[in-house]
Amino acid sequence: MASQVIEIKRSKEKTFKDQVMDLLPEGGNLNACLTCGLCSSGCPASGLENMDPRKFLRLAVLGLDDEVLNSNWAWMCTMCQRCIYACPMKIDIPALVFNVRNRWPKENQPKGIRGSCEMAFKNETCSAMGATEEDWRFVVEDVAEEVRDTQPGFENLQAPMDKKGAHFFLNQNSREPVTEPDEMVPMWKILDLVGADWTYGSKGWAAENYCLFCADTEMWEKNVRIKAKAVDDLACKVLLNTE
């Protein structure tokens, strides 16, 4: 019996995976998958939505773009890069996830992440909690005064604000001054004990940037530029970002 050759024809139109590969160094190695499943072994999002990194990548490789681009799992991935660390081929699955998020319309993105991204531009603090410069300054001064008054050994503790020429510009997760202000104190004590020359800024002080997690590159950059300007305006040499 003569053998029969079966030809599988593929559309010449680029798939989503092909488009992402064009953006990444060495294509993110997205074509190098061995389907070994090691990427899923340490993934904190494995099993959610009946999905894991290996399945997600296989959908993309097979050109199942609708399934990939509409998967809620893309918002459950933390983009922690454990999958890259475990992968023998160093496939950049987080970059694939990032580009999926980038394709989602803003109105369909998770409200918490999207809202936190946009809240950062309510004023120049970049706070995802919407904290104003006045509120921020009041909380820092109030907590520092309480530490000086109640904690022996830290009678001279300072939490400088807008100190020109300080070596370090310290950022702060904006959740802490709003909901857990005492959580700021341990870092102040460390900086005090080592004699560090540091300051907070009244502008650009919030360390978080939820626009990154929305894959909104334009607003991500805008957020970073506000923070960078705050550092430059105070002529600080080093930005310490606690996030």
Summarised one tens digit per residue, pLDDT across range 34-88 is: 999 999 999 999 999 999 999 999 999 999 999 999 999 999 999 999 999 999 9
| pLDDT confidence band for 243 (50 / 70 / 90) | confident
* pLDDT at residue number 2: 61
Q: State both tokens at 18.
A: 């092909």
- Kindly provide the residue ranges of all beta strands, DSSP E only, lying in 63-147, ordered along the sequence: none
Taking the C-alpha atoms of residue 64 and residue 88, their distance in angstroms, rounded to an integer, is 24
Taking the C-alpha atoms of residue 83 and residue 73, their distance in angstroms, rounded to an integer, is 15
* pLDDT at residue number 29: 95
Summarised one tens digit per residue, pLDDT across range 172-231 is: 999 999 999 999 999 999 999 999 999 999 999 999 999 999 999 999 999 999 999 999
- Kindly provide the residue ranges of all beta strands, DSSP E only, lying in 22-85, ordered along the sequence: none
Consecutive H or E run containing 240: strand 238-240
Taking the C-alpha atoms of residue 136 and residue 162, their distance in angstroms, rounded to an integer, is 12
- Its pTM stands at 0.83
CB 208 within 8 A of CB 173: yes
Summarised one tens digit per residue, pLDDT across range 130-177 is: 999 999 999 999 999 999 999 999 999 999 999 999 999 999 999 999
* pLDDT at residue number 1: 55
Summarised one tens digit per residue, pLDDT across range 1-46 is: 566 665 555 556 889 999 999 999 999 999 999 999 999 999 999 9
* pLDDT at residue number 140: 98
* pLDDT at residue number 13: 80
Summarised one tens digit per residue, pLDDT across range 95-134 is: 999 999 999 999 999 999 999 999 999 999 999 999 999 9
Cα–Cα distance list, 53 to 15, 44, 192 (Å): 18, 10, 44
* pLDDT at residue number 242: 82
